[in-house]
Chain A
């Protein structure tokens, strides 16, 4: 129940109460009623001011009653965590759950504007308020990929969620083009059958309520962290504002994406559906002046890092502008192929055209021309080695050809040094936020997953400080964030800067790098004989190579690294022929890296080998065997083979900074591009 206790209850609240009583009668055989039973059945009872019937803690966001919308009496199916409900049952979500593991969806309605679903019938609302109550008097919602007028948006907090059952044996998923929504069965309008339910990612942001402690505890041991604070009662509003669907049309290999936004037609408003998360928050303030100074130094010292960061900015911009604003890409999975084309053009511009700026120096039409050049229609050379289609039928080429102005704008943004530095700072703060979470795990040994938060708009809000934070995933807090705070107050064994820097040291990337260096040391393939005949010698070579690669052996599990390198070599050395091929390519890898001045991708190696004069006919024969028939995407072998010999984690991966999509503020898209382990380690480890 909201604070306005004396306010008269709404009809929805009265119905929810009656349904709660009905559910109690259905599920409890007791002939008595106690206070716990009253609290437990009453949807208006609000934690923590309740008499609990269980010691099991609630997850953040709290719980809601799930109501069977098909049942006339509105039978209660369960009490579930609100975030889980919204993450599975907002428009586009189908899940097998209650009853006899039946198939359910949220009881939202299709009678709305095209591309929108009416979520009004899906929920009874505990509370609703204008978005401007949260954001203040602003002209746009700076959190979201999509554009919203804040004046037109209402935030709704569910009291209960209504779900409706589908036929789990024959759901008959369809897309309704006229309405821009997914549906089931045979609606009386033109539909497009789908082969399965859509893959649905929900777009959301978190807004923190209240202001921050202006007097945090200083941290003299750090020049970067200007203070930390603990807040034992902090509230976040997590707003779900759209569903990003990937559709799989029946009888077609072409997937495509669609976006469904929400409305509440009864109120004639755009709807953001929200949960309110209460927990204990540990906050670190980062000194922006020091951050920027160290970023400048890090990028000046490491040109490879700078170029990789420029591509990360390009990728983030492709996502924001080409995918969301222009809807120029058919589906979200088209971002990666497009980037692969741009990397290919970059290789060509730098190596063949001798242009240091690579792809970033091109105009929009220049990119169109270069893409066409790398997608020949009459042979399987260039990018077609990796299975990309010829320019006549290429979806990537079509997207570039149709949007040369936007492509030119994105490249120009990446050329701009100020924008690059701004992006680097955002990626660094985001990375530090993820690192704080994993370092906190190290400190407490809790093994838990913290909820993450940082002020994504810090550059517009605060000239001096960027805030990063972690909080417990239990409603009200579990005490783990508090324990980390206590450790910081007492003084940690590892200084916080070094602790955060260590989180950027990726085992996966280090093992990849060590494998490449090990093989490159024997370009004639002779390492194969050592591997086969003298395992002790081989192990000592592995050990020595790893020691040469890592900058701080204390930051790694050396046994894990050795195990990984051994595993990689075992895969690469299946036969003497393969061992010779990979050893040769590993040697070429160094040349490619120097040429492109960034961590080489598969496409760089492929284009390099495509124009390479092989010194050894046997190696050439192996290459040609892999390259043959590569024009067919399904059997393009060269890309897979070369992928075995690249550093997979360029900026971040699940082994270092990436985290579950549901935890990261950028989880729905391009999380990896907005993190950078190398920049984190360079700045915090200095």
Chain B
């Protein structure tokens, strides 16, 4: 229906959430057949649609680079002259951008940088944990194929991983201290936590009912996904609930 006086016409509005694009107010997938798409930051980066020329941003962006990325979803076609509109709210961050609107319209290099703390201990420990696995991957002394693919059943061979770490503990520690320029104490902390977790992967899932270690059970359930895995898990959960 077209409102001739105001020159308005109906629009198809879609909502993007959790990887799915649906017609607003329904569960019907809408594909590319929409005039306006409402989304969260899920489509902030890397969503290139040649038909988008305008972007509306509601409330203050989390940071300037994020704003630029969102703005950049419009005008992906070389002939486009894209527009962007920001509607600020009443929170302090919105107020901040109101008084610093030039940060959005004409950001300096300083505003486009996202601080990166290379020495962040928390992040470094995540990377050190991953590096322990990397060691196994690149070391000639470890059969990475067996470690990652297991033997017969899907999933890693955690027993073998545990033994490999034990056998090469000093090398792994050296690998961590040299790669991340950390002291022995820090390497030991991460290694110790990793080993503790491997121990926990061996804990039986439901003692007395199914004594399989957690990782072996997990692997078996993946293999038996369509063959009674859910019923088995539900039965164990029920039994454990009854014990409580």
Contact = CB atoms under 8 A, between A and B. Distances in A.
A and B together in one complex = yes
Interface of A: 1, 5-6, 9, 11-12, 14-15, 17-19, 21-22, 24-25, 30-35, 37-38, 41-42, 44-52, 72-74, 100, 232-233, 278, 280, 438, 441, 444-449, 475-480, 482-483, 507, 557, 560, 654-655, 658-660
A135 B98 CA distance: 42
Interface in B37-90: 60-64, 90
A614 B98 CA distance: 41
B180 interface: no
Contacts of A560: 98-99
A15 B240 contact: yes
B102 to A, nearest CB: 9
B92 A660 contact: yes
3 tightest A-B CB contacts, nearest first? A476-B122, A479-B117, A33-B155
B237 interface: yes
23 contacts: A11-B244, A14-B240, A17-B205, A18-B233, A25-B230, A31-B225, A33-B222, A35-B148, A42-B201, A47-B126, A49-B125, A49-B129, A52-B126, A233-B122, A280-B117, A438-B96, A447-B97, A476-B120, A479-B120, A483-B115, A560-B99, A654-B92, A655-B92
A33 B99 contact: no
Interface string B207-244: 00000001101110111010001100110111011011
B123 A48 contact: yes
A49 B156 contact: no
Contact of A475 (B119, B122, B129, B148): B122
B93 A73 contact: no
B196 A660 contact: no
Nearest to A508: B95
Contacts of A12: 244
B2 interface: no
Given A22-B230, A654-B91, 9 more contacts: A22-B233, A46-B193, A445-B64, A447-B64, A447-B97, A475-B122, A477-B117, A477-B120, A560-B99
A280 B116 CA distance: 13
A523 to B, nearest CB: 32
B130 A11 contact: no
A655 B95 contact: yes
B225 A25 contact: yes
Contacts of A476: 120-123
B221 A446 contact: no
B214 A17 contact: yes
Contacts of B223: 31
A21 B217 contact: yes
A447 B62 contact: yes
B148 A34 contact: yes
A448 B221 contact: no
Nearest to A8: B203
A6 B236 CA distance: 23
Given A35-B133, A48-B129, A448 B99 contact: no
Nearest to B194: A49
B95 A41 contact: no
B205 A232 contact: no
Nearest to B203: A9
A49 B95 CA distance: 39
A51 B99 contact: no
B103 A51 contact: no
A658 B100 CA distance: 18
Contacts of B156: 33-35, 38
Nearest to B112: A445
Contacts of B142: none
Contacts of B237: 15, 18-19, 22, 73-74
B4 interface: no
A448 B91 CA distance: 13
B190 interface: yes
A37 B203 CA distance: 17
Contacts of B98: 560
